[in-house]
């Protein structure tokens, strides 16, 4: 399968409900589901390369594989919320439970894996660290991509400095060039790779007759994020470590060796407590690995399909 199917699920919220989009690769009735959840300003098509690699390698696996990549609400093809305070991790986790129940009703899930980049990893910790949640089956394998219970405040402040500045662009290439300025920490990419990553990140600007583009996400996702302080980040850390310690899934931590969000100290601590994660780091990469380079793909697919 060279292109995913676009699907939707309705999720309840304080105003009634919103529609969350998700991209599905592989066998739609496969009992093995890999849920891939993106970072703060990203969207589900970030995982195209990983999904294609998983589908290719699992082609001979009995039942195949189903790779599901949601656009978290406020991003991509999903609805925007009326109340921006709904753009927070606990609400995102609730949406993922609705999505998994929906997928399970379509075709029963017997093996469930989770790949979470940055924010997607935080959502994964919230879901995997609470044993009483109504999952179809417990998460079997968890990949935390450049994220952990302790996040470096300077990186949070760096992200907050540009978050919500959606802007308008005259072409996808212009948008790609602008995004690269704030995304160089993703590590080396060829121009073709970066342009491919950038295409789903922009949409035609509403009401623009001049062919201009805007970034895909609701600028209001910045509202709750910008309320964070260093003190509140420390409080979040106190809640996240117990969740991490509760995780029973086999866990792999992927880290950019130059990451300013996930420190080496935190990554090492994650190998010593809770699920005692395996750790792999990639030189020349900061926050966060895009899981496009062959060595990154090999680490994640090897872990999930071993």
From the candidate CATH numbers 3.40.50.720, 1.10.132.20, 3.40.50.1820, 1.20.1740.10, the one assigned to the domain spanning 5-158+220-305: 3.40.50.1820
Interval 34-57 mean pLDDT: 97
Say if residue 300's pLDDT is above 90: yes
Residue-wise pLDDT for 89-145, tens only, equals 999 999 999 999 999 999 999 999 999 999 999 999 999 999 999 999 999 999 999
* Mean pLDDT across 257-278: 98
> Which pLDDT does position 210 carry in this prediction?
64
Distance from C-alpha of 228 to C-alpha of 68, rounded to nearest angstrom: 30
What's the Cα-to-Cα distance from 68 to each of 7, 80, 90, 94, 298, rounded to whole Å?
10, 20, 20, 16, 19
Mention every residue, 6+ apart, whose C-beta is less than 8 A from residue 73. Answer: 11, 18, 20, 79, 80, 81, 86, 87, 91, 92, 95
- pTM value? 0.96
Q: 282 - beta bridge partners?
A: 256
Let me know: does 14 contact 83? Beta carbons within 8 Å.
yes
| Residue whose C-alpha is closest to residue 275's, from 240, 303, 244 | 244
Residue 58 and residue 64 in contact, taking contact as beta carbons nearer than 8 Å:
yes
Q: Does residue 208 have a pLDDT over 70?
A: no
Tell me the chain's radius of gyration from C-alpha atoms.
18
Q: Any idea which residue has 């075709």 for tokens?
A: 107
Average pLDDT score over the chain: 95
How far apart are the C-alpha atoms of 100 and 35, rounded to whole Å?
A: 9
pLDDT at 1 over 60: no
- Kindly list the domain boundaries of the chain, sorted by start residue: 5-158+220-305, 167-216
């Amino acid at each position: 399968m060279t292109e995913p199917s676009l699907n939707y699920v309705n999720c309840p919220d304080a105003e009634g409900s919103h529609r969350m989009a998700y991209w599905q690769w592989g066998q739609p009735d496969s009992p093995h589901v890999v849920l891939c959840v993106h970072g703060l300003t990203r969207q589900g098509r970030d995982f195209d390369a990983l999904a294609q690699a998983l589908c290719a390698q699992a082609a001979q696996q009995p039942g195949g594989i189903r790779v599901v990549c949601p656009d978290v609400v406020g991003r991509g093809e999903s609805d925007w919320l009326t109340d921006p305070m709904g753009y927070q991790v606990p609400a995102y986790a609730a949406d993922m439970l609705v999505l998994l129940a929906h997928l399970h009703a379509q075709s029963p899930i017997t093996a469930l894996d989770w790949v979470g980049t940055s924010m997607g990893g935080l959502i994964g910790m919230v879901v995997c660290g609470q044993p009483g949640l109504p999952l179809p089956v417990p998460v079997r394998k968890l990949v935390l991509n450049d994220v952990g219970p302790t996040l470096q405040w300077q990186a949070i402040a760096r992200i907050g400095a540009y978050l919500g500045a959606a802007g308008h662009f005259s072409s996808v290439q212009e948008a790609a060039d602008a995004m690269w300025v704030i995304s160089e920490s993703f590590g080396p990419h060829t121009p073709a790779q970066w342009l491919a990553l950038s295409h789903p990140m922009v949409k035609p600007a509403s009401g623009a007759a001049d062919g201009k583009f805007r970034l895909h996400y609701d600028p209001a996702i910045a509202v709750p994020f910008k309320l964070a302080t260093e003190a509140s980040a420390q409080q979040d850390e106190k809640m996240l470590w117990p969740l991490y310690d509760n995780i029973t899934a086999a866990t792999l931590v992927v880290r950019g060796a130059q990451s300013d969000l996930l420190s080496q100290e935190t990554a090492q601590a994650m190998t010593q407590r809770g699920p005692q994660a395996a750790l792999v780091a990639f030189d020349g990469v900061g926050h966060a690995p895009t899981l496009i380079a062959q060595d990154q793909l090999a680490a994640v697919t090897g872990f999930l399909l071993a």
